[in-house]
């Protein structure tokens, strides 16, 4: 996310200063394609380089993120003989509403041709997540749901593209977007809310359990779309059948049991992954409400859906040792059909002051 905020800062610095110098009588800009940036955000500045006219824009808003990843693998190869199989992974993101900021620039090469670049990122926050089962079936409730903190949730998107006017009020767009979503799973709790990561201390005995995971969802999305401009509104849609998704979820479990008579150590790693292409559809609408000759407010809304289905992988590694002589290092690889779905719903206000 740091890279995205750097891009936001650079765009703001480059284009807000020129806009102060030449900010008289801003012309109405048809707007951005329905990607990460809404068509008419507050304009930081407009200026010319030769025959090209550039317009910089910015916005703020609130975005709800919905995510589900399912990989129904069931491996018995890394388990201790008296244990059930490991459970499939099914992650759902909860309470993932975030504040977002965005900045962009559009360069008009000709009356019918424009280039654009946008950057958008959220203010980092902590959310929640649910997994359908506890992987090792060790704790209270067996295979019941596992609840986590989704700490450090961050989302950002960078993109660029081209817009070609087909008529005065409509343009075809094409672009490429880089999209990133990540968070850490920690502080797991069972279905009754009891913490799993605990240290149990008894006279002459110490038992610890620890489980944590890192989740990364990365997308490359080439897309095409259409935007329409009216007297006081802008609408756009984009579509892609080639949204390339890379999912990586390393999950680490550590179990130690020390006593005066015996001790055992266990470390298990699950590495869930998927590298598949799917579909993305997104729509955006913005409406202007003018309060005076130089002040108006834009209300905007955006909805996005991503669906990916294909082969997913589970690679496991287990190290287990008991002082009375049982030791093992086992590895396994399992594959199954995985699914990834994500929805983004965002709303916001943009106040524009022309001077």
- Mind listing the pLDDT tens digit for each residue in 98-117? 999 888 888 888 888 989 99
Q: Count the domains in the chain.
A: 1
Top-ranked range on mean pLDDT: pick from 4-8, 173-177, 264-268, 285-289: 173-177
Query: Residue 98: which of 351, 349, 287, 348 has the closest Cα?
Result: 348
CA distance 128 to 123: 16
Q: Structure tokens of 243?
A: 């949204």
CA distance 133 to 72: 11
Segment 274-290 shows an average pLDDT of 90
Residues 6+ apart with CB under 8 A from 94: 127, 128, 129, 130, 150
Q: Structure tokens of 133?
A: 């089962």
Q: Which of 11-20, 163-172, 194-203 has the lowest mean pLDDT?
A: 11-20
The whole-number pLDDT of residue 42 equals 40
Residues 6+ apart with CB under 8 A from 111: 165
Mean pLDDT over the full length of the chain: 76
The whole-number pLDDT of residue 200 equals 65
Local confidence band at 144 (pLDDT 50, 70, 90 cut-offs): low
The whole-number pLDDT of residue 261 equals 63
Domain of 337 in residue numbering reads as: 2-353
Backbone conformation region of residue 200, classed left if phi is above 0, alpha if psi is from -120 to 50, else beta: beta
């Amino acid at each position: 996310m740091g890279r995205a905020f750097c891009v936001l800062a650079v765009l703001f610095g480059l284009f807000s200063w020129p806009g102060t110098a030449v900010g008289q009588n801003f012309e109405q800009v048809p707007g951005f394609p329905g990607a990460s940036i809404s068509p008419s955000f507050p304009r930081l500045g407009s200026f010319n380089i030769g025959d090209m006219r550039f317009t910089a824009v910015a916005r703020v808003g609130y975005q709800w993120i919905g995510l589900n990843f399912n990989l129904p693998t069931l491996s018995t190869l890394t388990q201790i003989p008296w244990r059930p199989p490991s459970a499939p992974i099914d992650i759902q993101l909860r309470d993932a509403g975030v504040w977002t900021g965005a900045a962009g620039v559009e360069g008009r090469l000709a009356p019918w041709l424009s280039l654009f670049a946008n950057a958008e990122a959220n203010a980092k926050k902590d959310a929640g997540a649910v997994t359908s089962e506890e992987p090792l079936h060790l704790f209270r409730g067996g295979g019941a749901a596992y609840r986590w903190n989704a700490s450090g949730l961050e989302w950002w998107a960078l993109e660029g593209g081209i817009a070609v006017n087909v008529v005065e009020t409509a343009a075809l767009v094409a672009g490429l977007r880089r999209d990133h979503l990540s968070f850490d799973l920690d502080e797991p709790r069972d279905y009754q809310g009891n913490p799993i990561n605990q240290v149990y201390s008894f006279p002459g005995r110490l038992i610890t359990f620890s489980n944590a995971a890192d989740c990364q969802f990365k997308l490359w999305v080439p897309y095409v779309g259409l935007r329409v401009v009216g007297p006081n509104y802008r609408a756009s849609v984009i579509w892609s059948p080639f949204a390339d998704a890379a999912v990586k979820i390393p999950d680490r479990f550590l179990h130690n049991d020390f006593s005066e008579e015996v001790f055992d150590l266990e470390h298990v790693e699950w590495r869930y992954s998927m590298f598949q292409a799917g579909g993305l559809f997104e729509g955006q609408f913005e409406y202007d409400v003018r309060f005076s000759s130089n002040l108006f407010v834009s209300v905007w809304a955006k909805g996005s859906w991503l669906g990916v289905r294909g082969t997913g992988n589970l690679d496991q590694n287990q190290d287990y040792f008991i002082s009375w002589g049982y030791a093992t290092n086992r590895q396994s690889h399992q594959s199954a059909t995985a699914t990834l779905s994500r929805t983004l719903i965002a709303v916001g206000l943009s106040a524009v002051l022309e001077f």
